[in-house]
Amino acid sequence: MSAMHKRPLGRSRLSVAPLAFGGNVFGWTADEATSFSLLDAFVDAGFDLIDTADVYSRWVEGHAGGESETIIGKWLQKNPSRRDSIVLATKVGKDMGEGRVGLSAKYIRSAAEASLKRLHTDRIDLYQSHDDDGATPLEETLEAYAELMERGLVRAIGASNHSAERLAAALETSRRCGLPRYECVQPQYNLCDRAGYEAELEPLVRAEGLGAIGYYSLARGFLTGKYRSEADLAKSPRGAGVKAAYFNPRGFAILAAVDEVAAGLRATPAQVALAWAMARPGYTAPIASATSTRQLEELTGAARLALDAASIERLNRASA
């Protein structure tokens, strides 16, 4: 895996392996010891981009947010030599309670300091606006990021959950004001959820030379094949969401195509779904999560899976 081709994150100096680890599971469905094992295995396999957010996992009863960053920070404390082997990405902007929300300059500064403290690091490699904030001028947000970058606390910035219109406005603001620009976008993107990215964001990404790091790359687990019946849905807290989004004729047609391609390549459905995203021109890396080293080995195997043109076309037709 050491020779794995890396992909640039926009015009920044950052480049990453073609798969990112989604840190939303740390401190939620993966306890501290398991999280440490997963992080070790991910880096040992030659991968480097670890994506988290300050809000992970505030949705869990008894959690306040920051649990994922805290675990990553403890892992880095235990393994300080790992820091230069990873690209550490986190986010700011979602509601952390007590008025801590949005992309104002004051809040970005305080949130960054809090994330750096939890992460036990002196820098965030990729700091992302987790949601658009229409109430704060783009100039104010980007100036706050510029200050953090000038202080060496942030290396590059990105945008998550932004429309093409608002992302384009932010890029124009950066040009006009001489401010750092968003170097990547983080959209929802997978075989089942293509239109939102491909119709508007992708043309902008390719025209501006941005990176693209998609979340829900396995459609909340549906594309792994583990949800095939009503009985399967009861096995996970995500079951209700999976049913609402993907238990329909189109969803099952896509899954059938994934199964067909997987069987022909002696791969798993999850590997095929991730390899399809990795093969998308101009796409940087899908984000995927695992809660066991066995799951992680399956996911990282997707980077070694080369889909032929016929397989990609089969998947494209089923998911069009």
227: Cα within 13 Å, side-chain hemisphere? 26
Sign of CA dihedral 305, 187, 170, 90: negative
Domains of the chain, earliest start first: 7-186 (3.20.20.100)
The encoded tokens of residue 225 equal 């094949």
Q: In one letter, which amino acid is 280?
A: R
Residue 75: Cβ within 10 Å count: 23
**pLDDT computed for residue 90 by the predictor:** 98
The stretches in the chain having pLDDT less than 50 are 1-2
pTM over 0.75: yes
The enclosing H or E element of 133 equals none
Integer Cα distance of 105 and 111 in angstroms:
10
CB count within 10 Å of CB 92 equals 30
Closest alpha carbon to 111 in 154, 73, 72: 154
Query: ∠ CA(199), CA(202), CA(208), 5° rounding?
Result: 135
Distance CA 158, CA 29 (A): 26
Query: Can you tell me the distance from the alpha carbon of 92 to that of 107, in angstroms, rounded to the nearest whole number?
Result: 9
Task: Dump strand ranges (E) for 9-131.
Answer: 15-16, 20-22, 49-51, 87-92, 124-129
Token readout for 194 is 């293509």
Structure tokens belonging to residue 36: 């440490």
Q: Give the gyration radius of the chain's Cα atoms.
A: 19
pLDDT at 307: 97
Establish whether 145 is a catalytic residue.
no
Helix (H) or strand (E) holding 211: strand 211-214
pLDDT for residue 234: 87
pLDDT digits (tens, 9 = 90+) for 77-107: 999 999 999 999 999 999 999 999 999 999 9
Nearest to 169 by CA among 136, 138, 199: 138
Catalytic residue, candidates 56, 107, 145, 227: 56
182 has which bridge partners? Answer: 157
Q: Contact, 173 vs 139, CB < 8 A?
A: yes
> Which 8-state DSSP code applies to residue 266?
T
Task: Provide the pairing of β-strand 124-129 with 15-16.
Answer: unpaired
